[in-house]
């Protein structure tokens, strides 16, 4: 029975992670050990639990039924550990990914507070402006700016991030002074590879949409700021990236009476998490934590 329980725990982790490789990484096992344990469990039950393919794993009807019980088993074990220890102390690993541009944003400070409250959780943070695949990379939660692709993952809007239209004083001085967004058509825009090649500006209920033209793009918001500082053109950037440069005069606001359409900030996670999971713990923490 003990071996069966171990195999069930490995099976549950494999389903949650979406692949043998990701489960093996999370459990500090080899993929072959994970595969062996699930095969043993299938032989013990006399039925297939997982359909295996080169692209992804999917459960059989029997696998779905067993997964529900396996999750309940793990939840009860976790609750038992907490009850006996006398404290609600979470343990285990939690892997998250965030845009590189939010390194100095409030979300990083919130995650730091979460870690202080949960020192038993081994927290692995991947800062990248590339959108990583949660399943293949073994990621529990992804935080993302802007429009999200359609998927079966769970999504929650965490915050709305304001953006500012800026350039260097040197670049501004080389242009005719703009009076409205239409005057920016011939300006050189520095674009982000992950965002649409258009921007929407607002003023007094009026809306203006423009396509961006320019000879430079980057996959990093921080790199865009550096290009703007070097006088290459115009950018829309999050306030925390440019506020110091605006204060010391290295960047200036363009059309300050117009507001740039903000970016939504989302949390994205797997649909099969449990209430006792570290993923749920972080999501609940962020819900209660002011943005």
Model pTM score: 0.67
Same domain, 280 and 242: no
Query: What tokens appear for 275 in the block?
Result: 């209430």
CATH number of the domain enclosing 184: 3.40.190.290
Same domain, 169 and 255: yes
Q: Are 25 and 16 in contact (CB under 8 A)?
A: no
Query: What tokens appear for 17 in the block?
Result: 């992670």
Same domain, 69 and 191: no
**One pLDDT digit (tens) per residue for the chain, 291 residues:** 777 788 888 888 888 777 888 888 888 889 889 989 889 888 988 988 888 765 667 788 888 888 888 877 877 776 676 666 555 677 888 999 999 888 888 899 999 999 999 998 999 999 988 878 887 777 889 998 877 766 778 899 988 889 999 999 999 999 999 999 999 989 999 999 888 888 999 998 889 998 899 999 998 889 999 999 999 999 999 888 999 999 999 999 999 999 999 989 999 988 767 777 889 889 999 886 545
Tell me the residue range of the domain where 215 lies: 161-262
Same domain, 190 and 232: yes
H-assigned helices in the chain: 2-17, 20-27, 31-45, 61-85, 106-117, 134-137, 169-173, 221-229, 239-248, 278-288
Residue 245 CA to residue 229 CA, distance in Å, equals 9
Beta strands in 1-120 (DSSP E): 50-52, 57-59, 92-98
Q: Among 65, 85, 105, which residue terminates a domain?
A: 85
Same domain, 146 and 278: yes
Query: What tokens appear for 126 in the block?
Result: 């991947």
Same domain, 31 and 76: yes
CATH number of the domain enclosing 26: 1.10.10.10
Find all residues with CB under 8 Å of 255, minimum gap 6, and list them.
165, 178, 180, 181, 184, 201
Query: What tokens appear for 84 in the block?
Result: 């006996």
Q: pLDDT tens-digit profile of 173-228?
A: 999 999 999 999 899 999 998 888 889 999 988 899 988 999 999 988 899 999 99
Same domain, 133 and 276: yes
Could you count the other beta carbons within 10 Å of the beta carbon of residue 83? 10
Residue 269 CA to residue 264 CA, distance in Å, equals 16
Number of domains in the chain: 3
Strand-pair partners of 203: 206
Same domain, 243 and 197: yes
Q: pLDDT tens-digit profile of 62-91?
A: 888 888 888 778 777 766 766 665 556 778
Find all residues with CB under 8 Å of 175, minimum gap 6, and list them.
187
Residue among 108, 97, 96, 95 at smallest CA distance from 238: 108
């Amino acid at each position: 029975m003990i071996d069966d329980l171990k195999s069930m725990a490995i099976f549950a982790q494999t389903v949650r992670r979406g692949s043998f490789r990701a489960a093996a990484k999370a459990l500090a096992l080899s993929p072959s050990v994970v595969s062996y344990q699930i095969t043993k469990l299938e032989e013990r039950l006399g039925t297939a639990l997982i359909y295996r393919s080169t692209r992804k794993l999917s459960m059989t009807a029997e696998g779905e039924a067993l997964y529900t019980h396996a999750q309940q088993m793990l939840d009860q074990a976790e609750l038992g550990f907490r009850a006996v220890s006398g404290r609600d102390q979470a343990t285990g690993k939690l892997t998250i990914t965030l845009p590189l541009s939010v390194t100095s944003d409030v979300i990083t400070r919130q995650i730091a507070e979460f870690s202080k409250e949960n020192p038993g959780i081994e927290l692995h943070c991947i800062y990248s402006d590339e959108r990583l695949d949660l399943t293949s990379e073994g990621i529990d939660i992804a935080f993302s700016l802007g429009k999200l692709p359609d998927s079966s993952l769970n999504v929650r809007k965490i915050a709305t991030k304001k953006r500012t239209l800026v350039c260097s004083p040197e670049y501004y001085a080389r242009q005719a002074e703009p009076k409205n967004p239409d005057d920016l058509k011939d300006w050189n825009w520095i674009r982000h590879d992950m965002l649409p090649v258009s921007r929407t500006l607002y003023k007094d209920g009026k809306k203006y949409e423009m396509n961006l033209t320019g000879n430079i793009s980057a996959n990093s918001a921080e790199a865009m700021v550096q290009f703007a500082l070097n006088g290459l053109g115009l950018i829309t950037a999050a306030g925390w990236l440019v506020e110091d440069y605006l204060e010391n005069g290295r960047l200036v606001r363009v059309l300050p009476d117009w507001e740039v359409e903000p970016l939504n900030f989302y949390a994205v996670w797997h649909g099969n998490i449990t209430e006792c999971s570290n993923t749920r713990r972080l999501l609940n923490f962020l819900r209660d934590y002011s943005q």
